Structure 1
Amino acid sequence: MLVESIMNTNVPTLPPTATIEEALHLLKKNKIRHIPIVDDENRVIGIVSDRDVRDASPSSLLKDADRKELQNEIQTIMSHPVVTVHPLDFVEEIARIFYEKEFAAVPVVHNDELVGIVTEKHMLHTFIQLTGTHVQSSQIEVKVPHRPGILPEVAQIIGDHNVNIVSVLVYPYLDDPHYKVLVFRVQTMNPMPIIRGIRDAGFKLLWPNNIMEPKL
Structure 2
Amino acid sequence: MIVEEMMKTDLVTLTPDHTIAEAMKLLDTHKIRHIPIVNDLHHVVGIISDRDVRDASPSILDNTYTSALLSEPVRMIMQKEVITAHPLDFVEEIASIFYEHQIGCIPVTKNKRLVGVVTERDLLHTFIQLTGTNKPGSQIEIKVENKAGVLAEVTSLFGSKKTNILSVLVYPDVDERYKILVLRIQAINPLISINTLKENGYEVLWPKLPEMT
TM bucket by the smaller chain?
over 0.9
Give the structure 1 partner of residue 198 of structure 2.
199
Give the structure 1 partner of residue 68 of structure 2.
68
3-state secondary structure, aligned to 2:134 = coil
Q: Work out the CA distance in 1 between the residues paired with 2:10 and 2:64.
A: 33
3-state secondary structure, aligned to 2:13 = coil
Amino acid at match of 1:179: Y
1:10-33 deviation digits (Å, cap 9, x = unpaired): 111111011100100111111110
1:178-210 deviation digits (Å, cap 9, x = unpaired): 11101100100111111011111111111112x
Deviation of 1:62 after TM superposition, in Å, equals: 5.5
Give the structure 1 partner of residue 210 of structure 2.
212
Deviation of 1:132 after TM superposition, in Å, equals: 0.9
Instruction: Say if 1:144 and 1:65 are closer, same or farther in 2 by CA, change over 3 A.
Output: closer
Q: After superposition, where does 1:123-202 map in structure 2 within 5 Å? A: 123-174=123-174, 176-202=175-201
Give the structure 2 partner of residue 82 of structure 1.
82
**Contact 2:137/2:187 (<8 A) preserved:** yes
Instruction: Say if 1:62 and 1:203 are closer, same or farther in 2 by CA, change over 3 A.
Output: same
Q: Work out the CA distance in 2 between the residues paired with 1:201 and 1:80.
A: 58
In the alignment, structure 1 residue 5 sits paired with structure 2 residue 26: no
1:34-63 deviation digits (Å, cap 9, x = unpaired): 000000000000000000001101123468
3-state secondary structure, aligned to 1:16 = coil
Structure 2: state its 5+ residue gaps. none
3-state secondary structure, aligned to 2:108 = strand
Deviation of 1:212 after TM superposition, in Å, equals: 2.9
**Contact 2:139/2:184 (<8 A) preserved:** yes
Give the structure 2 partner of residue 59 of structure 1.
59
After TM superposition, the runs of 4+ consecutive aligned structure 1 residues lying more than 4 A away are 61-65
Q: Work out the CA distance in 1 between the residues paired with 2:211 and 2:50.
A: 55
Structure 1: state its 5+ residue gaps. none
- Equivalent pairs, count: 213
Amino acid at match of 2:87: P
Deviation of 1:107 after TM superposition, in Å, equals: 0.2
Structure 1 length-normalised TM: 0.95
Give the structure 2 partner of residue 122 of structure 1.
122
Structure 2 length-normalised TM: 0.96
3-state secondary structure, aligned to 1:171 = strand
3-state secondary structure, aligned to 2:157 = helix
